[in-house]
Amino acid sequence: MAYTFLFTIGTTTAAAVSAVLLAALYASSVSQPRLHLSFWRALSGIPPVLVGLLVYMLFSQAGPLGFLRWLFTPKALITAQFLLALPTALALALRERTSLPRDMEDFIRVNLPNKKHQAYLAHLKGTLPSTFFVTWGRILGEVGAATLSGGAIEGYTSTLATDILYKTNLGQFKEALVLGALLLVVSLIPSVFLELSSYGASGH
């Protein structure tokens, strides 16, 4: 149980951090963020199980990356979580980028013609933690993609969420509830953080 707990935190954090940093780099380099935003926002609603299927087909023996032998290992699981987190992270980062008023776009273009990228990154920096937590929350309790890619193998690639489902099917409701409580506590962290940070940003 301790392994599953740490494993869940570890993989989801790695996936979300990677997704958020990549999203920041992406959102700070595009010149038409609004166009990209609608695309990624649409994609961020993709059903997780489809992402799982995609990763499965990708790493399947017959698939293009089958030679890596990643299927049913933590690597395939993290890949799935990363792909699941990416559209959300991108949509949030791009939205923050488009929140820059026209005057500020001009401000950056006139004053920092050679450091535009850095300026946009600096602008995104403040929201990276909240972007991370929202993204993290999306993959933390996810079952479908995690099962398809990682296989939900006990003590190896099972996460808190897949374990809850397994324990429930076994009829071990007490264990399932304990895991559920654990998942609940962990998944409350993002909301608590976001609540506190929005309180901090609005107060003086």
Binding residues for other proteins, rule: CB under 8 A, are 7, 10-11, 13-14, 17-18, 21-22, 24-25, 28, 56, 60-62, 66, 69, 71-75, 78, 96, 101-104, 106-107, 110-112, 115, 117-119, 121-127, 151-154, 156-157, 166, 168-171, 200-201, 204
Instruction: State in angstroms the smallest separation of the CB of 101 from other proteins.
Output: 5
Nearer to other proteins, 131 or 188 (CB): 131
Q: CB of residue 151 vs other proteins: minimum separation in angstroms?
A: 4
* 31 versus 169: smaller Cβ distance to other proteins: 169
Distance of CA 73 to the CA centre of its chain: 19
What's the CA gap between 170 and 167, in Å, rounded? 5
Taking the complex as a whole, how short is the minimal distance between the CB of residue 11 and other proteins, in angstroms? Answer: 7
Cα-atom radius of gyration of the chain, to the nearest Å? 19
Collapsed DSSP state (helix, strand, coil) of residue 65: coil
Task: Tell me which amino acid residue 98 is.
Answer: T
Specify burial of residue 161 (Cβ count, 10 A radius: 0-12, 13-18, 19+): buried
For 192, the token pair is 């608590």
Q: How far apart are CB 200 and other proteins at their closest, in Å? A: 8
| CB nearer to other proteins: pick between 34 and 115 | 115
